[in-house]
């Protein structure tokens, strides 16, 4: 189980000093930082990825894209492929259950400015799993291996695999799947140390990441229960993993990427954002989302982000209700202005 260590903003450990300036090589792609935000459906779109990149993320990854929908030219799926060169290096995550379809999807992507292809073999959502995709592949390792092999053969870039520990407790397959991935030509694996049956509940078991690291020579990226710089440092020290992937903890707190990057480099951890800095980013994110998605859709997409950003603020619940009913850009910005002007305890 993960045992978090306490770490002050000025604490330097010998292991952290050893990592200072260290890069992470995935195939031919060099990452300037081993800190990677997890791909998350409905979250890691272009505007948010740009923010994460500005915070120092070594790699950003798209929302997961259906290989079948991509091959069929689905309009919404094509929207998910919007990337910018300033994000690079960037990974695009695909999911599917048919090796041939996935290979076709990868060939379609060869003209896009993408540096890596990531294969999702961990998504626990029922609508994905019922089609034999995502975490369902944890119960069909021969198919999983065939998919990896087909995609590696078709891709003109390194291929990575994101997996969970297994389908349910007592059925750990991550080390075996990682070995198969390495044999099929994958350049790295990311391991979410929960089982599909766990979804996002309970405590992640970092010992699974440690066992995967011992099983393969390719880079292993650890994922699960990293919510602070201390967590990230503890995960790397306890498991020997080569990189840290952070998921839900960056929702409303992208500054965490900057803080984790600092501690892994052995430099002082920057303080949390000030009240002014927090609201400046909220407004920047909101305006970028409107520009990217259009006003109507952008407002809908930002409601969740603004709720995450405002978590813990006095009166935040009331303002969330108001923002969820706001229908214009001006109305949302006015609500943010009012919330920003509220007195902050200790501030």
Give the residue numbers marked as catalytic.
123
- Chain position carrying tokens 């050893």: 18
Query: Alpha-carbon distance 267 to 272, whole Å?
Result: 15
Query: How far apart are alpha carbons 26 and 18 in whole angstroms?
Result: 20
**What is the bridge-based pairing of β-strands 29-31 and 24-26?**
antiparallel
- Quick one: tokens of 229? 């710089």
DSSP per position, 242-287: SEEEE-GGGTT-THHHHHHHHHHHTSPPPPPPPHHHHHHHHHHHHH
Reduced to 3 states (helix: H, G, I; strand: E, B; else coil), residue 192 is: strand
Write the burial class of residue 241 (CB in 10 Å: 0-12 exposed, 13-18 middle, 19+ buried). buried
Contact 107, 93 (CB under 8 A): no
SS3 196: helix
Beta bridge partner(s), residue 65: 94
Q: How far apart are CA 9 and CA 228, in angstroms?
A: 11
**At a CB cut-off of 8 Å and minimum separation 6, what does 284 contact?**
51
Label residues 317-328 b or e (16+ Cβ within 10 Å = b).
Answer: eebbeebeebee
C-beta separation of 61 from 91 below 8 A: yes
């Amino acid at each position: 189980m993960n045992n978090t260590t306490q770490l002050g903003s000025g604490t330097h450990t010998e292991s952290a000093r050893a990592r200072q300036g260290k890069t992470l090589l995935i195939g031919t792609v060099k990452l300037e930082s081993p800190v990677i935000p997890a791909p998350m459906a409905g979250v890691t779109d272009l505007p948010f990825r740009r923010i994460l990149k500005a915070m120092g993320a070594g790699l950003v990854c798209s929302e997961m894209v259906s290989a079948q929908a991509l091959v069929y030219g689905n309009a919404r799926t094509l929207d998910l492929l919007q990337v910018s060169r300033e994000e690079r290096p960037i990974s695009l995550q695909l999911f599917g259950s048919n090796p041939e379809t996935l290979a076709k999807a990868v060939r379609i992507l060869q003209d896009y400015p993408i540096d890596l292809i990531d294969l999702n073999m961990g998504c626990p959502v029922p609508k994905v799993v019922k089609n034999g995709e995502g975490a369902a592949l944890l119960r069909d390792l021969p198919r999983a291996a065939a998919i990896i092999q087909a995609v590696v053969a078709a891709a003109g870039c390194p291929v990575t695999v994101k997996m969970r520990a297994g389908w349910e407790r007592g059925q750990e397959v991550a080390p075996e799947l990682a070995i198969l991935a390495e044999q099929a030509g994958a350049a790295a694996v990311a391991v979410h140390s929960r089982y599909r049956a766990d979804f996002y509940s309970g405590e992640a078991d970092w010992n699974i990441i440690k066992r995967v690291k011992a099983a393969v020579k390719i880079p292993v990226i650890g994922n699960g229960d990293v919510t602070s710089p201390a967590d990230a440092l503890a995960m790397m020290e306890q498991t020997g993993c080569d990189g840290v992937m952070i998921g839900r903890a960056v929702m409303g707190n992208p500054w965490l990427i900057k803080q984790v990057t600092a501690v892994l480099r052995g430099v002082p951890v920057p303080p949390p954002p000030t009240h002014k800095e927090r609201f400046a980013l909220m407004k920047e994110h909101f305006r970028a989302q409107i520009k990217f998605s259009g006003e109507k859709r952008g407002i809908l997409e930002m409601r969740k982000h603004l709720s995450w950003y405002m978590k813990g603020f006095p009166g935040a619940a009331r303002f969330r209700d108001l923002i969820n009913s706001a229908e214009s850009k001006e109305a949302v910005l006015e609500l943010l202005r009012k919330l920003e002007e509220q007195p902050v305890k200790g501030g």
